[in-house]
Structure 1
Amino acid sequence: MQATDRGIHNDTRYDLGGGRRWSASSTAASKRALGWSTRAHSCRHAYAQERMRKLLRDLLPRDTLETVSQELGHFRRDVAGTYLR
């Protein structure tokens, strides 16, 4: 499967929306359901950090970062790495 975000085409194993689409839909859904949103990026940071901890038990760091980058919908390790700060 191929995903495109901001003009970048990537192969992915996940059928998940990513990038701006995911952020906008997450914020809109939260506002509809709760009347407020803590913003999608705070969820992304928490998810990425916890997911990295779990995956590092079984995978090499490079493979772990690749997996998390796809799950976040960015498809680039350098972008996913910013969520680990």
Structure 2
Amino acid sequence: MQVKLFYKTQRELAVSLNGIVDSYWNNELNEDTLISSVHDVYINNPNKMLKEGDFTTVLKQQCGKRRLEVIEKILRSSAGSRL
């Protein structure tokens, strides 16, 4: 799966994050790839993912609670509590 590092809109970012997490759930990605992909996307798009320590409204609407739980755990573990 090819993942861009920089996204123009929050909706594009949400679609990409959905694809990453869904690929992991479908056993198309291993755990290390999932973690590094989410981490890389966050590092290059922090303002499109988080506002005031919480996920943006667009991400909440587009990604859903379960995907965001996975993403939140990755972000917390990879950088010692970014959220």
RCO higher in 1 or 2 (8 Å CA, sep ≥ 6)? 2
> Do they fold alike, i.e. is TM over 0.5?
no
Structure with greater proportional helix content = 2
Structure with greater proportional strand content = 1
TM-score tier (shorter)? 0.3 to 0.5
